[in-house]
């Protein structure tokens, strides 16, 4: 063994003209690089190999999530009463009392899988750049998870899938619920993340790509049987997009059907005041919607909020 080492040292000195110190540094460098490679491979494996393939059927999901118990559901009026019972400074203030997240271990596991996938897919397809979304606001996610638990909500219709943060909240919170999402598909991470949610929640997410001003009426003409209980307006914020989304979704809520409408980013800054704000005020005046509640998002440099209403 010692002889072999000596021969190796002599050979290296002859071929590479290295002295003993240079040789030691070289060997140390090579060993460090190999160790670093092994560590990188192991950490990649820890992230990907240990992730379970999520392909639960609806029944298994219901059982695992264990939230099909009616006693854990909230009635819409009780929920609105809680919201209206006091004035909140920010949306985060709502969660100091009766409201709060009710994640089961399975839901937490799904959340971890989804957030890891968002990070990886957005990095891969858009260098880590992502449009503003509800994932940036914990208070918004909590409010969404409370709304998803309301007993009457079976079908959610939303504009603005983006990276799927709000969609994930609807699907993960309530296993009985189906989502119809409409997005113009302007980000190349949108489709891969929609596939991700479709494989995690089979049969429960339908995404229609294109300008919602055209796709919602076309979808409604093709599938008149789809009726919405919760409407989320969070797609295009400019021109007539919010107004068209509001009116087109209204046709998918056969009144007096119980319903809720979420308007994201209203109240908000001057630019959305002229689009979302003007649309909302005009629809309230015309008696087409009733505002139930609104709050400002916490730590939000755009100073925007969320508004809750119902078509009437
Ligand atoms: C603010 S993001 C939605 C965030 C998401 N709802 C959430 O909370 O995580 C807005 C999305 O609306 C989409 N969008 C913009 N204009 C649209 C239009 N005219 N029709 C449909 N989607 C549109 C964009 O592609 C973007 O993904």
Test site for ligand 1: of 157, 158, 161, 231, most ligand atoms within 8 A of the Cβ:
161
Query: Helix 212-222 vs helix 241-250: angle between axes, to the nearest 10 degrees?
Result: 10
* Residue in the structure block whose two tokens are 């996938």: 117
Confidence class of residue 50 from pLDDT cuts 50, 70 and 90? very low
CA distance 135 to 200: 18
Ligand 1: residues with CB < 6 A are 131-135, 159-162, 165-166, 182-184, 186-187, 211-213, 234-236, 241
Residue 154 vs residue 53, higher pLDDT:
154
CA distance 40 to 60: 35
Distance 261 CA to ligand 1 centre (A): 16
pLDDT of residue 25: 76
In 3-state terms, the chain is what percent helix, strand and coil (to 5)? 50, 15, 35
Using the atom order of ligand 1, give the atom closest to the CA of residue 232.
6
Q: How many helices (H) and strands (E) does the chain have?
A: 12, 7
Distance 147 CA to ligand 1 centre (A): 20
Residues 153 and 108 sit within 8 Å (Cβ to Cβ): no
Residue 6 vs residue 173, higher pLDDT:
173
Confidence class of residue 49 from pLDDT cuts 50, 70 and 90? very low
- Domain positions in the chain are 2-48, 58-311
CATH 3.40.640.10 holds for 58-311:
no
pLDDT of residue 163: 97
The pLDDT tens digits for 92-109 are 888 765 565 677 888 899
Using the atom order of ligand 1, give the atom closest to the CA of residue 245.
20
Is the pLDDT at 62 greater than 80? The verdict is no
Distance 82 CA to ligand 1 centre (A): 30
The mean of the pLDDT values for the chain is 85
- Which amino acid residue places its CA nearest to atom 8 of ligand 1? 134
Q: Report residue 159: phi and psi, to 5°.
A: -105, 140
Confidence class of residue 69 from pLDDT cuts 50, 70 and 90? very low
Residue 185 vs residue 36, higher pLDDT:
185
The pLDDT tens digits for 179-211 are 999 999 999 999 999 999 999 999 999 999 999
Could you tell me whether strands 230-233 and 155-159 are parallel, antiparallel, or unpaired per DSSP bridges?
parallel
263: helix, strand or coil: strand
182: helix, strand or coil: strand
In what side-by-side order are the strands of the sheet with 260-264? 205-209, 178-183, 155-159, 230-233, 260-264, 305-311, 289-296
Distance 197 CA to ligand 1 centre (A): 17
pTM attached to this predicted model: 0.79
Confidence class of residue 5 from pLDDT cuts 50, 70 and 90? low
Q: How many CA atoms lie within 13 A of 29 on its CB side?
A: 6
Test site for ligand 1: of 111, 159, 272, most ligand atoms within 8 A of the Cβ:
159
Residue 184 vs residue 142, higher pLDDT:
184
Is the pLDDT at 36 greater than 90? The verdict is no
Burial group, residue 311, by CB count within 10 angstroms (0-12, 13-18, 19+): buried
The pLDDT tens digits for 207-266 are 999 999 999 999 999 999 999 999 999 999 999 999 999 999 999 999 999 999 999 999
Using the atom order of ligand 1, give the atom closest to the CA of residue 211.
20
pLDDT of residue 99: 62
Confidence class of residue 60 from pLDDT cuts 50, 70 and 90? very low
- Which amino acid residue places its CA nearest to atom 16 of ligand 1? 236
Residue 3 vs residue 40, higher pLDDT:
40
Asked whether the CA dihedral 304, 150, 104, 108 is positive or negative, the reply is negative
SS (H, E, C) 231-255: EEECCCCCCCHHHHHHHHHHCCCCC
Is the pLDDT at 91 greater than 90? The verdict is no
Distance 53 CA to ligand 1 centre (A): 28
Confidence class of residue 55 from pLDDT cuts 50, 70 and 90? very low
Distance 178 CA to ligand 1 centre (A): 19
Distance 30 CA to ligand 1 centre (A): 49
The continuous run of DSSP H or E covering 304 comes out as none
Distance 1 CA to ligand 1 centre (A): 67
Confidence class of residue 48 from pLDDT cuts 50, 70 and 90? very low
Burial group, residue 291, by CB count within 10 angstroms (0-12, 13-18, 19+): middle
**DSSP letter for each residue of 185-226:** --STTHHHHHHHHHHHSTTSEEEEES-HHHHHHHHHHH-TT-
């Amino acid at each position: 063994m010692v002889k072999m080492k000596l021969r190796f040292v002599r050979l290296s000195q002859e071929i590479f003209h290295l002295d003993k110190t240079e040789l030691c540094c070289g060997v140390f460098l090579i060993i460090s690089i190999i160790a670093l490679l092994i560590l990188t491979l192991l950490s990649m494996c820890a992230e990907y190999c240990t992730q379970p393939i999520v392909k639960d059927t609806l029944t298994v999901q219901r059982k695992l999530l264990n939230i099909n118990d009616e006693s854990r559901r909230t009635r819409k009026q009780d929920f609105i009463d809680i919201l209206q019972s006091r004035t909140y400074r920010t949306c985060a203030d709502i969660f100091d009392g009766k409201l709060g997240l009710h994640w089961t271990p399975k839901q937490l596991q799904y959340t971890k899988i989804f957030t890891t996938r968002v990070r990886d897919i957005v990095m891969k397809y858009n260098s880590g750049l992502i449009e503003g979304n509800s994932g940036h606001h914990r208070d918004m996610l909590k409010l969404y998870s409370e709304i998803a638990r309301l007993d009457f909500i079976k079908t959610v219709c939303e504009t603005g899938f983006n990276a799927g943060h709000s969609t994930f909240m609807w699907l993960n919170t309530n296993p009985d619920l189906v989502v119809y999402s409409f997005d113009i598909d302007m980000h190349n991470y949108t489709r891969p993340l929609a596939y991700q949610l479709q494989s995690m929640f089979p049969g429960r997410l339908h995404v229609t790509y294109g300008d919602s001003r055209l796709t919602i009426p076309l979808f409604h003409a093709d599938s008149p049987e789809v009726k919405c209980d919760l409407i989320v307006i969070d797609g295009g914020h400019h021109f007539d997009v919010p107004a068209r989304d509001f009116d087109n979704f209204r046709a998918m809520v056969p009144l007096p059907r119980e319903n809720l409408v979420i308007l994201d980013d209203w109240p908000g800054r001057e630019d959305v005041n002229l689009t979302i704000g003007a649309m909302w005020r005009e629809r309230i005046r015309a008696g087409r919607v009733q505002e139930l509640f609104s709050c400002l998002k916490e730590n939000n440099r755009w100073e925007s909020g969320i508004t809750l209403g119902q078509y009437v």
